[in-house]
Amino acid sequence: MKTDLRRPPEPVARSRSHGPRTGATRQVGPQRAPRSPKQPAKAPAKRAAATRGAAHRGVRAKRSTVPVAPAFKINFRAGNTRRRLVAVFVVSMVLFMAVIARVAYLQTVGGDTLVEAGRAQRVTESVLLAQRGTIFASDGGELAISVPSSTLFANPKLVTDATGAVSVLTSMLGLDAEKQQKLLEAFTLKEKSFVYIARQVDDATADSVMALNLPGVDVIREDKRIMPSGEVGRSVLGRTNIDGEGIAGVEMQFEELLKGDDGERVREHDSKGRSIPGSGATTVEPVPGQDLVLTLDRSLQFQVEQALVDRVEEVKGHGGTVVVMDTATGEIYAMANVERGDNGKVAVTSANLAAVEPFEPGSVAKVFSLSAVVDSGVAGPDSVIAVPGKMLFNKGTIWEQTINDAEPHDTVPMSLRDIIVHSSNLGTYLMAKQIGPEALSGYLDKFGFGHKTALDFPGETKGIIDPASKWQGTEEVTVTYGYHYQASALQFTAAVNAVANGGMLVQPKLLKATIGADGTVRESAPSPAHEVISPAAAATMTSMMKDVVCEGTGKDARIDGISVAGKTGTAYKTQDGGGYGDKTNRKYRASFVGYFPADAPKVTILVTIDEPDPTSSDRFGGKAAAPLFASIATSAIHELKITPTPGDTGCVSEG
């Protein structure tokens, strides 16, 4: 075969591999179909002619620019699309359920919070304080009453200039640094809709502040508790805090009756504090508290307090207490307490010491020991025993002690009447010894010692007394004449009053009646009572106690034309660290308790002077306390209109 040198060689088809793309071939220059064994290769006529023409002209053939469809393809599995749709559906359902749950929460549990938040922005609530009940004396005089006063407050959400408002209010009201800081914080945060600015200020000051028209600042009328009769009955009445809540004394004891029920005013407003038209205001009117009528006689209470102050000053004492009680009913006509302050002056105290302070009574307690002796039947007024001037007890033991009688004397015979008239300590013990410690302990319990009275005054003491099984050493001796147990003045008054009342102990009483908001008067229940000794024993004790006043240690308690039955008491006070000290540093408590007219008693009075001058003869009960008893008894006779029983002339033999 000869080669024609004038014709260029035919282009050879080149293939370029494209990696993994199988079945796809990209060619340069004219393509030739692959030969198959059954079909010989033939170049298309037009393409061959074109190629030959180009080669003949010496022009290089260009690569074809016609895009060639790739011969490869990607196969997706049918399951992939379904999974994506399921995922989208699940996510959509979760989001939908979350929205539903949120809506349900806001419609139920969380709805209150949103409602309250919205309400707080447009609603102002004002508390309408209920008027506190008035406390009256038994004669109708007012002892404690609430009067209107001005209280400035603010709605912080309506305050436009926090710093400026606080500055102006400080200059007008003299607010301290702490109050300024609290107001500034409240006005700035605007979390509250009500804060106090100044409470219970005078009306003129409140009017001056309101004239400034400060946004958010307003005034309300708020009751202020006052005592129109001055300090009369202060220690019994107690006091209230600035919110009008009782925190001491009768004010605290009868808080539920006195306070009433507060009302409320609700007003809707816009952001500038203007009332929203058509919204109106909702008002719940307050219900006033109940008025109280106490058993205190206002005039007698005043006279007793003044007389007690004067007497404590006279004897240079530390303080004193007086209780005046109705013999038959237990009603307290007067209960006075005074103390010497740090300034050296004696004044009425805020504490009702007569109910809350226990003390050892001294010889006043002989009334209870000898009442037990008489009631037990082991001795009568004329029963006589030998009484030594001193006795040694528990010889040879750690309890060994020598006890002297009240006054030095040799061994002498003394009747029961002599023992109480001259206040013999050892004579009282020897008489009480005949009934034994257990019996005596039982009588003391019936007299009310170791138990609070039915008065149940706030902070009232039940006293301190051990049962006979715990008495040690000479305690079974000293307990008979007023040591080794303590009680309050109120308890001692009630116990002696049991003798005056024919052996029947009637509990003390302060509340006479209540007056409801509708004016209905309700009398309080009678005081509970129980028998301590028989009427016969009480009559015997009264007869001997009359002699104490007419012939014995209580002569300074006599009243012209009216018989008095009573008993003096002088007790050593325990010192810090225990013991009663020696003759150079002893402190005393001087007392006198009595009732009159002796044969038909109307009133029982106890007087106790705390720490009279220890160097003076006035330190004894018959000198420090008995004269004050006579003065107070005279006042009670006039105020309560007490008349002598027929034939009663008092201590005639003593003039």
Cis-peptide into 597, omega within 30 deg: yes
Nearest to 190 by CA among 162, 169, 163: 162
Q: Which stretches does DSSP call E strand in 546-633?
A: 565-572, 588-596, 603-610
Average per-residue pLDDT for the chain:
85
Please report the sign of the dihedral spanned by the C-alpha atoms of residue 481, residue 486, residue 491, residue 492: positive
| SS3 state of residue 89 | helix
How high is the pLDDT of residue 198?
A: 92
How high is the pLDDT of residue 20?
A: 43
Dist CA 257 CA 515 (whole Å): 10
How high is the pLDDT of residue 67?
A: 54
Dist CA 582 CA 579 (whole Å): 9
How high is the pLDDT of residue 113?
A: 66
φ/ψ (deg, to 5) at 209? -65, -45
How high is the pLDDT of residue 264?
A: 73
Taking the CA atoms of residue 466, residue 468, residue 474 and residue 478 in that order, the dihedral angle to the nearest 10 degrees is 70
B/e letters for 477-499, b = 16+ CB within 10 Å, e = fewer, are bbbbbbbbbbbbbbbbbbbbbbb
DSSP character at residue 576: T
**Tokens read off for 544:** 């001997």
| SS3 state of residue 27 | strand
Domain spanning 124-157+193-205+215-294: CATH superfamily? Penicillin-binding protein 2a (Domain 2) (3.90.1310.10)
How high is the pLDDT of residue 68?
A: 53
* Apex 111 CA angle, 105 and 116, nearest 5: 155
How high is the pLDDT of residue 309?
A: 97
Please report the sign of the dihedral spanned by the C-alpha atoms of residue 94, residue 95, residue 96, residue 100: positive
Nearest to 366 by CA among 429, 409, 412: 429
Nearest to 187 by CA among 152, 215, 154, 162: 162
How high is the pLDDT of residue 212?
A: 92
- CB 267, CB 109: distance < 8 Å: no
Spatial neighbors of 416 by CB under 8 A, at least 6 apart, are 370, 373, 374, 379, 380, 381, 382, 383, 384, 431, 544
Rounded to two decimals, what is the model's pTM? 0.76
Domains 124-157+193-205+215-294 and 298-511+525-654 share a fold: no
DSSP for 355-380, please give it. HH--B--GGGGHHHHHHHHHHHTS--
Residue spans per domain, the chain: 124-157+193-205+215-294, 298-511+525-654
How high is the pLDDT of residue 22?
A: 43
Q: What share of the chain is helix, strand, coil (3-state, %, to 5)?
A: 35, 25, 40
Per CATH, the number for 298-511+525-654 is 3.40.710.10
Q: Give me the average pLDDT of each 10-residue run along the chain (655 residues).
A: 47 44 44 47 46 45 50 54 83 87 72 60 68 93 91 92 93 92 92 90 90 91 87 93 92 94 70 56 80 96 97 96 98 97 94 96 97 97 96 90 91 97 96 96 97 95 96 94 96 98 98 93 96 98 97 95 96 84 85 97 97 91 96 96 90 59
